[in-house]
Structure formats: C-alpha cells, structure tokens
A and B are shown apart, each in its own frame.
Chain A
Amino acid sequence: MFNNNLKVGWRNLKRQPFLTFLNTFGLAIGMAGGLLISLFIYDEFSFDQMFPDADRIHRINVDIKFGGQDGEYAVVASPLAEIVLDYSQVEMTTRFRTQGSMLIKKPDAALNVKELQTTFVDSSFFEMFGLELLEGDTKTALRNPNSLILTKTAAEKHFKINEAVGQNMTLNNSEAYIVTGVIDDLPENSFLRNHSVFMAMSGYEDSRSTEWGSNNYNTFIKLTPTADIESFQEPLQAIFSKYLVPYAQRFMPGLTEEAFKASGNYVNYSTMPLTDIHLHSSRIADISPNSNIQNVYILSFIAFFLILLASVNFMNLSTAHSLKRAKEVGIRKTLGSNKFSLIKQFLTEAGLISFLSLLLALVVAFLAMPFFNELSGKELSIPFFNPIFWLLLVSVAAVLGLFSGSYPAFFMSKFAPVKTLKGGGQSSVGGGGIRNMLVVFQFAISVFLIVSTLVVFQQLNYIQSKDLGFTKEQILIVDDVYGAGNQVQTFKQKVQQLALVKSASLSSFLPTPSSRSDDGYKIQGVNEQDNNLQMQSWRVDHDYVSTLNFEIIEGRDFDQKYGTDTSSIILNESAIAVMEKSAKEALGMKVVRNFQNEEEEVLTVIGVVKNFHYESLKDDIGALSLSLGDGAAKMSVKLNGGNLSNTISSIEKAWNEVAPGQPFNYYFMDDSFNETYQAEERLGRIFIIFTFLSILIACLGLFGLAAFNAEKRTKEIGIRKVLGASVTQITYGLSVDFLKLVGIAIFIALPLGWYAMNSWLEDFSYRIEIPWWTYVLAAFLAVMISIITVSFQSIKAAIVNPIDSLKTE
C-alpha cells in the first residue's frame, strides 16, 4: 500500500507542476534558511564544550560599585586565585593576564611577526583545560619565567615543529624568551581562539602582587568532581570582608564594611560556567569577544517562523487545491478505503514533497553557505559526513511533512463521497476560514520582520552618523609603533613634516573600544570615604586633543610652553560629574592618582574635555582622564585629503627609515569604529535577508491562493463579463478579499513590532525613537507586495475571453 501511495503521490506532483513548484520551492527556502541558522546556533552553543572537564570549570566575576562608578568585570584581583585554591571545593585555579598583540621573532631574525593575541598564563593551564603539547612537557613547560609555548601555526612561522622546543625568541624587540612547548591550534569555538602565544605567569611580576585594588586577571577554577558550585558561593563572597575591607582600611582609615554598603557600594563576586561565557558574558575584559544569547533567540525565532511560514503555505495550497482531489477521495471511499488509509495517502504525498524540498534545501544551503559565512562571521560547513546530521535532517523532514500534511490530510479525508461523486466533483471546498487565518498569520510575520528590519537599520545609521565628540574620518592609525623603539619621536616628526599630514599624535589609547587602563583617583585633601574614583587613565602626547579634534569646554589643552604639564590632567565631563564639580570648579583642582599605592602622584586639572564616545554606544560614557606620558602603541595621523596612497607610502617610507625590518601596520579609524558595531550590522543584514525570504514565501502562498481563487471563479468571471463587468471591476473583486486579510495582518503585527523593537533598543544607551513613518512604510510595503502578487493572477483571470471561461463548465 505504501508503494501505491508513493506512486500516486508522485504522479499527483507531476500532474500539478505549478502547485508542486510552489510547495517545494517554498518549503525548500524555509528549510535552507532553517538549516543555515540551525548550524549557526549549534556552533554558538558548542563553545568551550570541547574541554574535557568543561562542566567543572567556572570563571570568577566581580561586580563593583565604588566611588560613583560601577562595572561588571570578567577579571578579578591577582591574589584571589591563591586564596580560593585553599577551599575544599576547588581542585585547581588558572589565571590569564592577556597582553593583546605582540611582535615576536628569533633573536637573529631581521623581521618581526605580529601575533594578535598573547597572554600570560599559570602553569596549571594544561591540566585545567586538558590540553596536550605536541612538543614539550606539560609538567614543566610554563614553570620557569621567560618560557613560552606557541600554537602550531605560530611556531611554524619560525621553525619546524619538532625543532621548536629550546629555541630563543624575542618579544617586542626586547624581552628574551625560550620556547618550551608547542600546542595544537585552539579551536575557533573556544574562548582562547586566536590566542597563539602563552607566556609563563611566573615571569610576570604583578602576578605575585597582594594588591586587591586592581582587577586584571581572568581567573578560572576547576571544582573537584564531587563539589557543587552552590556551596562555593558563600566562601567566595566572604573574601570581601576577609581581604578587601582590611586592604581598603590601609588607605581609608576608619572604613567599615557596614558604612561601605550603607552608602550603596558593593563588591559582589560570582561565578560563571565556562560553557556559558560565550553566550552570556558581556563583561569588561572578557578574554575574547562574545556573542549574545539575545541574538541567538532572535535567530531561532526567525528560523522557526521561516519554516512555519513554508509549512503554512503547504497547508493552504494543498487544501485550496483539494477540490481537484475530491473525486478521488469519493471513489476511494466507495471502493472501501477508510479515512485512515486516505490520511496515510495524503501524508505520504506531504512527506514526498517534504523530502524533495529537503534535497533542494541542501543544494540551496550548500550554495548559500559562503555568503552566510560572510554574513555571520563564522566558518560553517554542512556536515555531509556526519550520520547524526542526516538522521536529524531526515527526522525534521519527516516531522515537517507530517505537520504540513496533517491538516490537508484530515481535511480532505473528510470529504463525503455522496457529494464528491455527483457530477464528478464537489462544488466548493471548505476550510476557507482557516486558510484566511493562515494568510493573516503569514503576513503578520512578514510585517513584523519589515518593521524590525527598518528599526535595526535606522539605529545603525544613527550610530554611524552620531556626533561622537571627535573626528574619526581622515584619521590613519599606525599600529605597533613600539616597533620603532626609541626612534618613535623621530618617526612622529618625520610624519608631521609630510605635506598632506595635518598633525600626528602618539598614544596608547584611542576612542574605539579596545584594551583599557584604569587607575584609582581621589581629590587631594578630601578624606571622605566616597572620595574615590576609578577612571580611565589615558597617557597621550601634546598633539592628541588637536589631532582627534576633541573639544575643550573649559581650561586648555596640553601645551609645550608649560613645563609643568607633565603633572597636569584633563578630565571629561563624566569625571567631573562623578566628583560633583562644575567645569569651572574643576579647573586648578588637585587630584591624586594611584592614591592606594606607592605610585601615587598628584596632578592638577588644567582642562575639561567635552564627553566623547570611546565605548560602544550601547554604554554610557564613563569617567576618563588624559595626561602626558610615554610608551605609546599607536600613532594617529590626521590627513589633509589629497592622494591617499602617496601619503601612505610616504609614511611607510618614514617608518622603514626609523624601524627597518619592523612590520608597518596601519588602518583607518572609521573602519575600526565600524567594527565595533559589527554584531549589530550583521544582525541587520541577517534581518534583511530573512525578511526577504519570509516575504517571498508568504507571497508564494498568496500567489498560489490567488491562482486557485481565480480558477475556482472562472465561470463566475465569465458570466460577470458577459453581463458587462470591466477588467478593473473584476480584478478588484478578486483582489479585495486578500487585501482585507493583509490589512488584518498589519493591524496585528504593528503593535508586536513596536513592542519587540523598543525592547531591543533598550540595550542601547544612545538610541532612536522609532518614527511613526516606520510603521506606515512597513504597512505600505506589505500592501504593495500583496497587491502585486494577487493582481497578477486577478488580471490574468479578468482578461480571459468569457467564451473560453464559460466553456470550462
């Protein structure tokens, strides 16, 4: 019987190519979209699962509010790891102190190689994460100061893997290291992706510090196999009273825990499972940039609805066209078929379409994969050789076939033979109400997605064109200028002399989110507990403010004329707001930097700079200070326009004169700025594509229904025309019912879109208010798209010669 069902199903598909095309194509697009998104989501959830004891590994976080500032950190103070190691729940701890990019070479090599992500790490690293060395001994590899291990790829840039151990390396042209091991490249879906150089923590002096004031260490613990993380929370919290309070009392005599908390301050430690970090952590100083679970939800939502839309299409088209099958149902029933075997028959057909669509979907997904990867920033591929993938795929296709086929099957198997056999067919099919509901549902989703897309793009546009408080255009950044060593000032002078260069400035920090440095500050002479501020300390040079075009709203910029400026400081508006001073009051004020340790220095406020955005626009602008200092990593060059490539090659020439053999790396500041919003931009592009797909699927369905409707009413149209109706009247008559449905869909979707997108925007500190025309435009687009879809069929039916349409009876 199954073979018979299959055979009849196949013939039916062949006999109605238009319907088969609409169904298969729609389902295939839905499935392909669903498949791509599922692979994406699977990848997102696979992060850090590869580490053998991943379920026992947790990271310690801290939330701090103190001195008018608050922050959520992925890093804690250096001594914490050693303290929790004594807790019975903890088997081992490992700290990372990330260093960003470094230049690395063999001592005698002429050229440096730049490694993007480097870190100091404790020697427990291998045991913690269950890592093996390709070369070297895990027990000793990270024990001694100045030893480092390289990933396979990083090592191969300098020597053969089996010759690596024991080789000398020079980091940043100054520090001497010995290679003690080679590790396999770390997986793309791990928090250590892109990290290629791991240096022994024992050589990093600060790691032995007993200071609780600065939080710089990503600290991981591995629980013992029997411990549970809940029992660890209380002793973890106790660290505050036991260590931080006595530490703070050293420079804030009389501080009590109660008073600290009473004034709204807190230091809260918490833990986060390693495998949660990728989707749930958006803390300051995460080791690698993370994704956002919200985006995963949004994508899952889109994938689910895409497939649902396609499935709804199938139901709609199948029931609409069931008129043609009514006679067959009648005959089969008369011959003794019961309802159940008819349902099986129709479900077999649905399954057949589902599997055909699956094949097509695989082809589509395969072809679309490179574009999707570019869109999502991942390197996904279809796991063709994974049996579980196929099993899942086939199950999904079967379930989808069952689901899509269920309503048409039950619907059609109910046809009464008495009606369907009379004159060879049944005069009308029911189910119109449900079909209308499904059309409304489809268009509601489409309208919702149109609204979302419009809002995402408006917000992105707002971010990109917002006045950031500085000029990011025409600024060239030369990276890694420490490669020039003590020649860096010479390089700056050479660049400043170039005709097309307006100015140049050396600094370690730029107003684009990257590594940060903060210090503790207080106002000199005030001894209140709250007189304490953790803020960004950017060491810059005299040309920084003018090169980036910051606005000084009170006081003055650093000036070569004043020798005293080495102990001057410029604050931003947020900083003086935390200090509760006006810009005028702030001028001349003395502040103490690093008041809690030996590096204490007193600085005089000489200016207040207008707030500028240096973090993502998702965040508020935090307190920040500028002071003069050395050790610059980047040179910002403000260009005058003119011939760009000439200017760049002149700068490169100057670089090669002062730093022969060092890599010349540069980028434009506005590019780097745009990267900050890559996640949002990706989301925007994904939205646009999947909105388009869902509208396409909805239109396929509407198109099919309109065709069916026109066909069903062929005779009526003929009679109307004979009686004198015009093409316009008939087209209107055929289209207006569909447009009413689209109208209802708009009515449902707009409030949902309004609600959802306002929730999304809440994530941004700086956001648009959704303008009213967004909704009007979305509604207009939906109506236009449906008019075009429906009227094509309606006009086609309306212009047929009535003689022909009446003959069909």
Chain B
Amino acid sequence: MIIRTKNLNKVYRTDEVQTTALNDLSIEINQGEFVSIMGPSGCGKSTLMNILGMIDSPSSGEYFFMENEVGGLSERKRSDVRKNNLGFVFQSFNLIDELTVFENVELPMMYTKVPSAERKKRTEALLEEMNMMHRRNHFPQQLSGGQQQRVAVARAIVNNPKLILADEPTGNLDSANGDDVMKILADLNSKGTTIVMVTHSQYCAEFGNRIIRLLDGQVVTENVVRQFL
C-alpha cells in the first residue's frame, strides 16, 4: 500500500469563519493504481492533494506514505520524502519562467544530487520521449500550453517517482493536447507508477482504474473503472 489515510481532517480558520475542508477522510491507494479524484468545487480535492503531496499538513488524523506516518513530519523531512518519491503535475503547469525547458526538467535532480552527466542523460532522454528536444533551450513563455504541460510531466517523472500527483493536468489544455497528456500518464501507470489525479472531466477520470468522489470533505462513492484499454 502506498497511501493510507485515517480520519484526516483539515480545518481552515479565519477570524469569523471556520471551514472544514476535509472531514474524517480515510482512503487507501495501492501501489500501481491510477486513482482519479472528482467532486464539485470546494469539496476538498485540492486540499487532499496538497496533504498527499506533503506541501500541507492535516489538522488531525494520520497519513501513512509507504507505511510511514508523514503527517506530522517537519518541513525538512517532508521535503526529503517529497523529492525522492513524488512528482507533481499542475493545471497551470508551474514551470519556472527563468529556466529553460532543459533546466526545468533537470531541476528536481539537482535537489536529489544526481551527478551532472547523469542529469544530462536523463533529461535528454525524457525530452526526446516527450518530443520536446527541439525546444530544449526555450523558455516556458515561448511554448504552447500543451508543450508546457509535456515539459511539466517530464519534470514530474525525471526522478522516477513512486507516485505522481496530478492536479487537473488537462484543465488548461485543448482536447487534443489533453489527450496527449492523459496518454502519457496512462503509459506511465502501465509501467508501474502510481498516479493520483484530480479532475473535473469524467472522460479523463476514466483513464484511471478507480474514481473517488468527494463531497464536503468526505468520500461519497468509490467505483472501479471498467478497464477498456
């Protein structure tokens, strides 16, 4: 089991209002699964993703990543777990504007201290695979949305993460580009990478093998997707 949460709660407090984003949420995700998380705006999808991605911590409850409790780890420890095990794909791509395509993809390996020659080899191989090699020295603003998301995906997987967290990866893309990205993710999953994806699109959700629906911070249904691939 790669992910197991037990009674996760996340409460946001402002001066007057208290909002419960996650409410006693318990889920389990196995190694090699491709799970899609769906639900209306404000149901807690992004909060869940942030907690699963260890860039936010729960108000209460437990989060076991690869059977280790990580909910209560320090920022430094979480950062270590994150860089060695996780890859992120965002709706708004979140490439660093000051870095070239090549450098964006290379960046996670610098944080994991991969030697320079190895970095070059892996980056080039991935860019080749994503069909982005001819754009290696361009800056993000010089690319189309689809190209940017392919770079972002390349960056997410360059460290061979065990888990990819994708937050509406196709949200800013047209359907052709969206399809491309979904196929890449499905392909990765077929090679063994666990994927957790938030999406509004039923079409995209069905690329996965399980759909978790959230409402008001709770799981309402879980269904197994009919495998058609």
- Find B111's partner among A15, A335, A418, A424 (CB 8 Å cutoff): A335
Contact between B90 and A12, CB atoms less than 8 A apart: no
Instruction: Give complex CA distance A4, B109 in Å.
Output: 12
Q: Are A4 and B88 in contact (CB under 8 A)?
A: no
Are B46 and A336 interface neighbours, CB within 8 A? Answer: no
Q: What is the 8 Å Cβ interface bit string for chain B, positions 11-32, against chain A (1 contact, 0 not)? A: 0000000000000000000000
In the complex, whether A339 has a CB less than 8 A from a CB of chain B is: yes
How far apart sit A423 and B91, CA to CA, in the bound complex (Å)?
Answer: 9
For A337, give its contact among B79, B84, B92, B99 (CB under 8 Å). Answer: B79
Say yes or no for A701: interface residue by CB 8 A criterion.
no
Q: In the docked arrangement, what's the CA distance between A8 and B104, Å?
A: 11
Determine whether A417 belongs to the interface, using a CB cutoff of 8 Å to chain B: yes
A330 lies within 8 A of chain B by Cβ = yes
User: How many angstroms between the C-alpha atoms of A333 and B84 in the bound complex?
Assistant: 13
Smallest CB gap from B167: residue in A: A421
Report B97-121 CB contacts with A as 1/0, cut-off 8 Å: 1110001000110111000000000
Contact call A337/B96, Cβ cutoff below 8 A: no
- Residues B82 and A334 in contact, CB atoms below 8 Å apart: yes
Q: How far is the CB of A393 from chain B (nearest CB, A)?
A: 29
Cα(A417)–Cα(B95), bound, Å: 14
Whether B82 lies near A336 (C-beta < 8 A) is yes
What residues of A have a CB within 8 angstroms of the CB of B112 in the complex? 336
If A336-B83, A341-B111, A418-B50 touch, whether A328 touches B55 (CB-CB below 8 Å) is no
A634 touches B (CB below 8 Å): no
Among A8, A336, A418, A423, contact of B108 (Cβ-Cβ < 8 Å): A336
Within 8 A of A (CB), among B171-227: none
B84 proximity list for chain A (CB < 8 A): 336
Judged by a CB distance under 8 angstroms, whether A1 is at the interface is yes
Q: Is the CB of B111 within 8 A of A336?
A: yes
Residues of A within 8 Å of B97, CB to CB, are 15, 328
B76: interface (CB < 8 Å): yes
Q: A334-B82, A338-B76, A418-B55 are in contact. Are A328 and B110 (CB under 8 A)?
A: no
| Alpha-carbon separation in the docked complex, A336 to B108 (Å) | 7
The total of interchain contacts (Cβ-Cβ below 8 angstroms) comes to 69
Q: How far is the CA of A417 from the CA of B97 in the complex (A)?
A: 16
Chain A residue contacts of B98, Cβ below 8 A: 8, 11-12, 15, 328
Asked whether A331 is an interface residue with its Cβ less than 8 Å from the other chain, the reply is yes
Would A1 and B92 count as touching, CB distance under 8 A?
A: no
Distance (whole angstroms) from the CB of B190 to the closest CB of chain A:
25
B82 near A421 (CB under 8 angstroms)? no
Chain A residues near B50 (CB-CB < 8 A): 418
Residues of A contacting B76 in the complex (Cβ-Cβ under 8 angstroms): 338-339
A337 to B109, CA, bound (A): 10
A422 beta carbon closer than 8 Å to chain B: yes
What's the dominant secondary structure at chain A's contact region?
helix
CB distance from B223 to the nearest CB of A (A): 29
- Contacts A4-B103, A12-B98, A15-B98 hold; do A333 and B79 have CB atoms under 8 A apart? yes
Interface residue total, chain B, C-beta cutoff 8 A:
28
Complex-state Cα separation, A11 to B83, whole angstroms:
25
- Which B residues are CB-close (under 8 A) to A424? 92, 94
A332 within 8 Å of B (CB atoms): yes
Please report which residues of chain B, range 48-93, place their CB below 8 angstroms from some CB of chain A when the two chains form the complex.
50, 53, 55-56, 75-76, 79-80, 82-84, 88, 90, 92
Task: Please determine whether A8 and B99 come into contact, CB atoms closer than 8 angstroms.
Answer: yes
Q: Chain A residues with Cβ under 8 A from B83's Cβ?
A: 335-337
Whether B96 pairs with A331 at a CB distance below 8 angstroms is yes
- Contact among A333, A338, A339, A423 for B55, CB-based, below 8 A: A333
With the chains together, A342 CA to B76 CA distance in Å? Answer: 12
Kindly state whether residue A327 has any CB partner on chain B within 8 Å.
Answer: yes
CB-contacts of A1-54 with B (<8 A): 1, 4, 7-8, 11-12, 15
Kindly state the separation between the CA atoms of A334 and B90 in the bound complex, as whole angstroms: 11
Chain B neighbourhood of A338, CB < 8 A: 75-76, 79-80
Write out the residue numbers on chain A whose beta carbons fall within 8 Å of the beta carbon of B94.
327, 330-331, 334, 421, 424
Is the beta-carbon distance between A339 and B75 smaller than 8 angstroms?
A: yes
Chain A residues near B80: list those with CB within 8 A. Answer: 336, 338
Q: B136 to nearest A CB, angstroms?
A: 15
Instruction: Give the complex CA separation of A7 and B104 in angstroms.
Output: 13
Interface residue tally of chain A, by bracket?
A: 20 to 34
Whether B150 is near chain A, meaning CB under 8 Å from some CB there, is: no
Residues A335 and B55 in contact in the complex (CB < 8 Å), given A8-B98, A8-B99:
no
In the docked arrangement, what's the CA distance between A24 and B53, Å?
39
Min distance, Cβ B225 to any Cβ of chain A, angstroms: 28
- Enumerate chain A residues within 8 angstroms of B75, measured Cβ to Cβ: 338-339
- The one of A328, A332, A334 that contacts B53, using a Cβ cutoff of 8 Å: A334
Q: Give Cα A328 to B96, complex, Å.
A: 6
Residue B45 at the A interface, CB < 8 A?
no
Shortest C-beta distance, A694 to chain B (Å), equals 33
Chain B nearest CB: distance from A418 CB in Å? Answer: 5
Residues of A within 8 A of B79 (CB): 333, 336-338
A8 to chain B, nearest CB (A): 5
Distance between A368 CB and nearest chain B CB, rounded to angstroms: 35
Interface centre among A334, A341, A421 (most CB of B within 10 A): A334
B46 and A335: CB pair below 8 A? no
Taken together as a complex, chains A and B put the C-alpha atoms of A331 and B53 apart, in Å, by 12
CB neighbours (8 Å) of A334 from chain B are 53, 55, 82, 88, 94
In the docked arrangement, what's the CA distance between A15 and B140, Å? 14
Looking at A327, A416, A418, the one whose CB has the most chain B CB atoms below 10 A away is: A418
Asked whether A335 lies within 8 Å of B56 as measured between CB atoms, the reply is: no
> Roughly how many angstroms separate A7 CA and B108 CA in the complex, as a whole number?
16
Q: Are B56 and A418 in contact (CB under 8 A)?
A: yes
Within the complex, what minimum Cβ distance (angstroms) separates B145 from chain A?
Answer: 13
Identify which of residues 616-644 in chain A touch chain B, using a CB-to-CB cut-off of 8 Å. Answer: none
**B contact residues around A336 at 8 Å (CB):** 79-80, 82-84, 108, 111-112
Interface residues of A in 326-373 (CB under 8 A from B): 327-328, 330-339, 341
Q: How far is the CB of A334 from chain B (nearest CB, A)?
A: 5
Q: How far is the CB of A328 from chain B (nearest CB, A)?
A: 5
Complex: A416 Cα to B50 Cα, angstroms:
11
Known contacts: A12-B98, A335-B83, A336-B112. The answer to whether A423 contacts B103 by CB under 8 A is no
- C-alpha gap A341/B79 in the complex (Å): 12
Residues of chain B within 8 A (CB-CB) of A8 are 96, 98-99
**A330→B92 CA distance, assembly (Å):** 13
B35 to chain A: closest CB distance in Å?
20
A339 to B83, CA, bound (A): 13
Report the minimal beta-carbon distance from A247 to chain B, rounded to whole angstroms: 83
Q: How many Å lie between the Cα of A12 and that of B82 in the bound state?
A: 27
Task: Report the minimum CB–CB distance from A338 to chain B (whole Å).
Answer: 5
Can you name 28 A-B residue pairings with CB atoms under 8 Å?
A: A4-B103, A4-B110, A8-B96, A8-B98, A11-B98, A15-B97, A328-B96, A328-B97, A330-B94, A331-B94, A332-B107, A333-B79, A334-B53, A334-B94, A335-B107, A335-B108, A336-B79, A336-B82, A336-B83, A336-B84, A336-B108, A337-B79, A338-B75, A339-B76, A416-B55, A417-B55, A421-B90, A424-B92
Not counting A335-B83, A336-B82, A338-B75, a sample of 4 additional A-B residue pairs whose C-beta atoms are within 8 angstroms of each other reads A334-B88, A338-B79, A418-B55, A421-B94
A-B interface, 7 closest residue pairs, ranked by CB to CB distance from nearest = A336-B83, A336-B111, A11-B98, A338-B79, A417-B55, A418-B56, A335-B108
